[in-house]
Structure 1
Amino acid sequence: MCAICELKIEFNIGHPLALSVAVATRAAIDAGTLPESLVDGALSNVKMRMAAIDALKGLTARLEASKSASELQALPDFYVLLIEIGTWGFFHATENGFDPDITPEAPDVTSDNQADRDIVFVTSETTLRAVLDGRLSIDTAFAGDLVMLDAGAEHTAQLRAVLNDALPAEGSDASVWDDVPVQKIA
């Protein structure tokens, strides 16, 4: 699995694209494209954090199942930010899959020069879960600004191709991924 980062807590890092993704997510929820994520009670933040971590684990499993170790290692390192509670994942591939124990530096998300910024996917746990479940295609998510990628053209093309291979198309039979664990948080 990927390394789950405590960057928001330690470094107070957000991302400039987070607001755009949040607005698009709210619009998709209001339109019925995405489900409302209702978490109440004293442990709501803990539940939201656990759901975000679970979604990142699901993404990791899908990526690792869809590509060989050498194909994964050809990918650049990248971060994923799930905006609801500011949960970060860091994806660094090794010959055994993504390294769960790596402790990354805080990502550079503000440099004017794209080459100096770290690669970051910005999305919501709600969107990621819908994509993992096959209710929403990754292409539809990108087209609706439900997922945004802060990367140069070469890395964008490379990562989009991997996501298209790893994630089921909207309305497709997601059962092909039944052997890849994606846990639900109640």
Structure 2
Amino acid sequence: MCAVCEFKIEFGISHPLALSVAVATRKAIEADLIEAIDIDEGALAAARKRMAAVEALNLLQARIEDAHTEACLLDLPDFYVLLIENDTWGFFHATTEGFDPDIVPEIPDVTTTEEAKRSNIVIMSEAALRGWLAGRFDVEHAFRESLFVIDGPQIHADSLTRMFYATEPATVAH
């Protein structure tokens, strides 16, 4: 399992690109491309949402690990995944055994203008991640429509983009 992080970022939105991903997600829901995440109320609603988000991150992790050789995994840069519905952050650090479940990452740097210091962050909604994993659309559509956005130094963003293409579900509805 990847590390699931509880970051307290000091500005009102968890990542500057989260709003554009939220708008793209709403469009995809309205176009019936993906299903909205159920918004249950009640005392345990937040816990259920967090557990569902962690499950989605685990599914992503398994898909990435299954699609890549050990050498390819080790070539990946460390990266964060932000699921925007409830600000669930996952951190992915590859080892010879897959992604490290015990790592404690630093808070991602989401505001620096110095490219070399920027954290590698994949911003997406849980709804879009689940839709993609289910084969409802391909990764090209996800990036083109801003359902998935990668923020980080260009060399790492290119590597993570290739990772998603290599991780494409076998059956994608077009």
TM, length-normalised to structure 2? 0.92
Equivalents in 1 of 2:119, 2:157: separation in Å?
A: 12
Supply the AA of the counterpart residue of 2:16.
P
Does the residue aligned with 2:80 lie in a helix, a strand or coil? strand
Which moves more between the two structures, 119-128 or 67-76?
A: 67-76
Does the residue aligned with 1:121 lie in a helix, a strand or coil? strand
Query: Counterpart of 1:35?
Result: 35
- 1:29/1:36 contact within 8 Å kept: yes
Which moves more between the two structures, 148-157 or 71-80?
A: 148-157
- 1:18/1:83 contact within 8 Å kept: yes
Query: Counterpart of 1:181?
Result: none
Cα-to-partner distance string for 1:130-151 (whole Å, 9 max, x where unaligned): 1111112111111101110002
Does the residue aligned with 2:172 lie in a helix, a strand or coil? coil
Equivalents in 2 of 1:41, 1:156: separation in Å?
A: 37
Equivalents in 1 of 2:104, 2:63: separation in Å?
A: 22
Query: Counterpart of 2:66?
Result: 65
Shift of 1:12: 5.0
Supply the AA of the counterpart residue of 2:173.
G
Query: Counterpart of 2:2?
Result: 2
Q: After the TM superposition, list the runs of 4 or more consecutive aligned residues in structure 1 that deviate by more than 2 angstroms.
A: none
1:167 aligns with 2:172: no
Cα-to-partner distance string for 1:80-127 (whole Å, 9 max, x where unaligned): 000000000000001111001101010001001222110000000000
Query: Counterpart of 2:25?
Result: 25
Shift of 1:156: 1.9
Query: Counterpart of 2:118?
Result: 117
Equivalents in 2 of 1:110, 1:72: separation in Å?
A: 27
- 1:39/1:47 contact within 8 Å kept: no
Supply the AA of the counterpart residue of 1:171.
A
Give me the identity figure in percent: 47
Which 5+ residue runs of structure 1 have no aligned equivalent? 173-186
Does the residue aligned with 1:80 lie in a helix, a strand or coil? strand
Query: Counterpart of 2:107?
Result: 106
TM, length-normalised to structure 1? 0.86
Equivalents in 1 of 2:84, 2:21: separation in Å?
A: 8
Equivalents in 2 of 1:29, 1:134: separation in Å?
A: 15
Supply the AA of the counterpart residue of 1:31.
A
Which 5+ residue runs of structure 2 have no aligned equivalent? none
Equivalents in 1 of 2:15, 2:139: separation in Å?
A: 20
